[in-house]
Amino acid sequence: MYATPLYLNLSPSKILELYLVFIHSIALAALSFLDFSWQLHIVILILIGVSLFKSIKRYAFLSYLDSITQLIWEQKDTWCLVQKNGISYTGELLANSFISTYLVILNFKTASSWQPIYVILLKDNVNQTSFRKLRVRLWLTHF
């Protein structure tokens, strides 16, 4: 549908970092209302902490070697996902992706992974013009 590929270079996101801290804080607050033994509280607290740490490193800071740092939309259904370590994959965009004005969550199926690869895009981690073009193209071609 479009002649020129769309390049999206991802950078770390402060908004996503704050959002992840907020969501995990709600989980910690909810934990205080649950009637479990103190040992189980500690285990759940550790799991929430590990989840927060890993989520921020992977999605907000993009510091894992397999974090997606570049997306290239080459043709209607052809995407190239480039990891921080330079490895690239061809992916197919899944229908359960989410698009809004400030947030885009893209879910990809690749031949190298049995589970979907998620890419979270916010206004502060991609170029504004590319972000707008992406949303328009997605609305026209997939939704």
Q: How far apart are CA 116 and CA 54, in angstroms?
A: 17
Q: What is the pLDDT of residue 26?
A: 97
Global pTM reads 0.87
pLDDT tens for the chain, 143 residues: list them: 556 899 999 999 999 999 999 999 999 999 989 998 999 999 999 999 999 999 999 999 999 999 999 999 987 778 999 999 999 999 999 989 999 999 999 999 998 888 999 999 999 999 999 999 999 988 888 66
Q: What is the pLDDT of residue 2?
A: 58
Instruction: Please spell the DSSP secondary structure of 2-55, one letter per residue.
Output: -SS-EEEE----HHHHHHHHHHHHHHHHHHTTS---HHHHHHHHHHHHHHHHHH
Q: What is the pLDDT of residue 112?
A: 84
CA-wise closest residue to 30 among 39, 21, 41, 20: 41
Cβ-contact 46, 54 below 8 angstroms: no
Q: How far apart are CA 97 and CA 42, in angstroms?
A: 35
Residue 76 backbone dihedrals phi, psi, to 5 degrees: -50, -50
